[in-house]
Structure 1
Amino acid sequence: MTLNLPPAIAGYFAAANAHDGAAMVRHFAPDALVIDEQRERNGHAAIREWEEETYTQFHPRIEPQSVESYADETRVMGTVSGNFPGSPVVLRFVFRLSGGLITRLEITA
Structure 2
Amino acid sequence: MTIDLPEPIAVFVEANARLDVDGMLKPFVHDAVFIDNGKRFEGHAEIRELLEEEVVPVTAIFAPDTVRQEDGTVVVEGPAHGDFPGSPLRFTYRFTLANGAIKTLEVTV
TM-score (norm 2): 0.93
Range with bigger deviation, 47-56 or 96-105: 47-56
Percentage of matched positions with identical amino acids: 36
The count of corresponding residues between Structure 1 and Structure 2 is 109
Check whether the contact 1:36–1:107 (CA below 8 A) recurs between aligned residues: yes
Residues 1:88 and 2:88 aligned together: yes
Instruction: Give a deviation string over 1:64-105, Cα, whole Å, max 9, x none.
Output: 010001351000001101111111010100000000000000
Unaligned runs of 5+ in 2: none
**Post-superposition shift, 1:48?**
1.0
Unaligned runs of 5+ in 1: none
Alignment RMSD, CA only?
Answer: 1.2
**Post-superposition shift, 1:37?**
2.4
Matched residues in 2 for 1:56 and 1:30: separation? 21
Check whether the contact 2:75–2:92 (CA below 8 A) recurs between aligned residues: yes
Check whether the contact 1:60–1:82 (CA below 8 A) recurs between aligned residues: yes
Instruction: Give a deviation string over 1:2-26, Cα, whole Å, max 9, x none.
Output: 2110000011111112111111111
**Residue equivalent to 2:14:** 14
Once superposed, which parts of structure 1, at least 4 consecutive aligned residues long, lie more than 6 Å away? none
Paired amino acid for 1:97: L
